[in-house]
Structure 1
Amino acid sequence: MKRAQQGVALITVLLIVALVTVVSAAMISRQQLTIRAVGVPITQRQALHYALGGERLAQALLQRDALAGNPAQPLDHLQEAWAKPLPAYPVDGGEIQVRIEDVSGRFNLNSLLRDKQVDQNAVQRLQRLLLRLDIRAPYAQRLADWLDADQEVSGEQGAEDGAYLLQQPPYRAGNRLLADASEMRLLLGMSDEDWRKLAPWVSALPAQAPLNINTASALLLSTLADPLTPDSAKVLVAARGAQGYPDVAGFLSQSALAGMGVAAQGLSVGSHFFTVTTLVRLGDAQRVVQSTLQRDAQGKVHVLGRDFSQRWPQVSKPVKKEQ
């Protein structure tokens, strides 16, 4: 009897030890999950502040560049300090990378509307850009209708409320300037494939913001006239040299543009709008923040908005040559 009681007592002790072990393991596991759950937001918040630091660095570089010249009439080109690749900056547990891009070197979609009227010169430039990208849909006319305030369809291929109300779900034309270039995806018939081709080459800036001929690619410069091709426009890029074109007149006097009737309207040699993409890596975590900056006539740089949905790097897809 005594031995049986001892056996029962031993089994009871073993059961208690096993129960305590299971409870302790569960507590430790839950504690680890809690620590990780608390740690991730802290790391993300730290990464956000590092990213904002990268944004401030870009603001300082752009402001210094403006004050070195005439802020009211800037001269910006790709050989300036802000445009060159910046080294990665080491921080505790990771690094920060910053890239500055002149969005005035892209086609400004809002330029299709000037003084509340459709600018046919800008429409033609967008049409050429679409053709250079092998996009055949009439998005230029449809964008003009999207931007203007009336309900009159531009030609046979435009689109106003009547066309959009037939969509599922139905919606109306914007009848205002684009706040973001991605609103182009709302245009009638816009496919994901066409948008992916177009996105790297366009921006949505104030309607009067011109194209900077000193930072625009050969593809964008080729949209200034029908006879120009991306290959022939490379001559215009090479002629910029290390200091860029000093003025639009010098650009228009290039022999490659002789007899093409390229208008000075919508062109400039300086920029007021930039995007800053900042990548922060901390351990296994990373965060990308893309900021839109405006540099005013006094050289001060203001943050217009931030986008937390971008990825790094953003590489433009190769463009098919014009046949």
Structure 2
Amino acid sequence: MKRNINLNRRLFRQTGVAIIAALMVAALVASIAGLLMVRQQRALQQLEIRKDTAEARAATWSVLQLVRLTLRDDARAGQPDHLRKPWAVPIPEIKIENGAMSGRLIELNGRFNLGNLIDQNGQPVAAAWAAYPRLLANLGLPSNLADNLREYFVLHAVQQGEKKIWLPLIDGHELANVAGYTPEVIRQLEPSIVTLPVATALNVNFASPEVLAAWVPQLTVSAAEQALSKRRSQYFNSPADLIGHLPKEVQAQVPAQLLTVKSQYFWSEMGARFGKVLMQHRALLDRSKSDMPVVLSVQRMY
């Protein structure tokens, strides 16, 4: 009797162990299956993201080529560049298959070009250094920021023979390395300045009153604003058109050689959205050297 009881107990234990082992194996198999399923889902998601990324890049490139063609055809027309040009109107988001695209052109010859501060020989340009503190004052910023920028150029100058060569700024982001140029200051400056690889003339059809007044001694921002208001009804066909609307006492001070109605430099901002992928690029375009605008740089904004 005892033997039977012991035998039954052993069989029960063995059966229990077998069941537990079977359950553990089943759980392990389920875990592995779940892990494989998760990995498969992740792989599919990554594949989808790669596909969307490729489509977004292709769309961005297409927008850039369209922009270049638009600027080329516009230059061939030979007309003054002004705010009413079709390319000056931002393109709202356009739905396309599986995604959307958007873009806009930002004219840059209407800004104060920090590239004008240094000539081709790496020497400071007196007229530009006289204008820059006036721009700062017009924008409500401390004029000593111009001194800080000058010291920055001097500090980073290179000796060549008996001369010190000032190195131009690479882009506007470099201002963050200059004393006093806090993020708030740079944000306030940003709509009015640009850093271009060469000196440029100021397009009076796009210039703000603050920028125009910076280049003309004794011209107030309010007087500049009044003169520039004329372009709302009719754009300026030449710098002389603008000069004729300025106060007579300052007309002789206007650096006419620094004014223009043509634009050669632009930022092309291109956006593309496919699935979960959103891309925004900014390209610097130069149409001064060839028929088709040249892409000088491309930067991903996000």
The answer on whether the counterparts of 2:138 and 2:210 sit within 8 Å (CA) in structure 1 is yes
The answer on whether the counterparts of 1:112 and 1:207 sit within 8 Å (CA) in structure 2 is no
Q: Give me the identity figure in percent.
A: 27
| 1:8 Cα offset (Å) | 4.7
Q: Which residue of 2 aligns with 1:240?
A: 231
2:67 to 53, 58, 67: 58
Whether 1:258 and 2:248 are equivalent positions in the alignment is yes
Q: Which residue of 2 aligns with 1:128?
A: 134
Whether 1:87 and 2:79 are equivalent positions in the alignment is no
Q: Deviations over 1:257-276 (max 9, x none)?
A: 32112221321110111100
Look up the equivalent residue of 1:301 and give its one-letter code: P
Distance 1:196 1:258, change over 3 A: same
1:20 to 24, 29, 37: 29
The answer on whether the counterparts of 1:142 and 1:187 sit within 8 Å (CA) in structure 2 is yes
The answer on whether the counterparts of 1:102 and 1:275 sit within 8 Å (CA) in structure 2 is yes
Q: Deviations over 1:137-175 (max 9, x none)?
A: 52334444655xxxxxxxxxxx5369xxxxxxxxxx982
Q: Which residue of 2 aligns with 1:160?
A: 155
1:68 to 67, 77, 86: 77
Tell me, what secondary structure is at the counterpart of 2:91? coil
Q: Which residue of 2 aligns with 1:176?
A: 167
Distance 1:25 1:161, change over 3 A: closer
Look up the equivalent residue of 2:116 and give its one-letter code: S
Q: Which residue of 1 aligns with 2:4?
A: none
- Alpha-carbon distance in 2 for matches of 1:299, 1:216: 25
The answer on whether the counterparts of 2:124 and 2:166 sit within 8 Å (CA) in structure 1 is no
Q: Which residue of 2 aligns with 1:155?
A: none
- Alpha-carbon distance in 1 for matches of 2:120, 2:152: 15
Look up the equivalent residue of 2:35 and give its one-letter code: A
Look up the equivalent residue of 2:242 and give its one-letter code: F
Look up the equivalent residue of 1:160 and give its one-letter code: L
Look up the equivalent residue of 1:302 and give its one-letter code: V
Tell me, what secondary structure is at the counterpart of 1:118? coil
The structure with the larger Rg is 2
Question: How many residue pairs are counted as aligned between the two chains?
Answer: 284
| 1:289 Cα offset (Å) | 0.5
- Alpha-carbon distance in 2 for matches of 1:284, 1:257: 55
The within-5 A match list for 1:104-253 is 104-114=109-119, 116=121, 117-144=123-150, 146=152, 159-160=154-155, 175-253=166-244
**Runs (5+) with no aligned partner, structure 1:** 148-158, 163-172, 312-323
CA RMSD of aligned residues (A): 2.6
- Alpha-carbon distance in 2 for matches of 1:143, 1:8: 80
Tell me, what secondary structure is at the counterpart of 1:259? helix
Query: Which deviates further from its counterpart, 258-267 or 132-141?
Result: 132-141
Whether 1:45 and 2:45 are equivalent positions in the alignment is no
- Alpha-carbon distance in 1 for matches of 2:216, 2:110: 17
Structure that is richer in helix per residue = 2
Q: Deviations over 1:235-276 (max 9, x none)?
A: 22221245521111221111x332112221321110111100
Whether 1:303 and 2:295 are equivalent positions in the alignment is yes
Look up the equivalent residue of 1:140 and give its one-letter code: A
Look up the equivalent residue of 1:267 and give its one-letter code: L
- Alpha-carbon distance in 2 for matches of 1:12, 1:189: 71
Query: Which deviates further from its counterpart, 119-128 or 38-47?
Result: 38-47
Q: Deviations over 1:39-91 (max 9, x none)?
A: 3333223212211111112111111111122xxxx521010011012232222
- Alpha-carbon distance in 2 for matches of 1:281, 1:242: 37
**Runs (5+) with no aligned partner, structure 2:** 1-7, 158-163
| 1:231 Cα offset (Å) | 3.8
The answer on whether the counterparts of 2:228 and 2:242 sit within 8 Å (CA) in structure 1 is no
| 1:115 Cα offset (Å) | 5.0
Look up the equivalent residue of 1:234 and give its one-letter code: E
